[in-house]
Structure 1
């Protein structure tokens, strides 16, 4: 993206290559320092932490993990990471109303899987 938006004129192919490598390195460093990366944990880590949780929470987590990916993502970001629907929409590039719809459908699917427990 930086390359496409850049108006820099390169002296040679080597200069262009060196610029591309340096920009890539800097972007990777920025990502590693980003607040988003530091504040999140993977679903696999949540599963490993779930042994310490009560059994009913484990059952809910297992039900969440069986959801299709599009539902699992929004449920995880909303309930486990604490992001708002607006923030999730921005992260996933979706309309906020789509996020609300996905959350509602996820709750229905989880309610069916969990035998009628209310979620959220």
Structure 2
């Protein structure tokens, strides 16, 4: 029945968000139209959508997405090569709940956690 999910996260500035996800994380723009105040990006089999929220205070933003991967070590190395800042409390490590994870914050403080099963 359910086949996909495309989270929608807030962004203050479409150009900054677009540049971060494309240049730092390796996403690409998705869709044939460029809508004011809305952005869609994709990488492999996932999409993330963004809506404009110019008044967003990043220190009060609690947007979070957990993204599963089957190549966490390679993706982590790719982000480091792109000089993507890893969350200070979210370095790549094995977690007691059976996941290998790391986290980053985007320009609007949306938390992206990437995880791969250890089993």
TM-score (norm 1): 0.29
Higher relative contact order (CA 8 A, sep 6+): 2
Larger radius of gyration: 1
Higher helix share: 1
TM-score (norm 2): 0.29
Higher strand share: 2
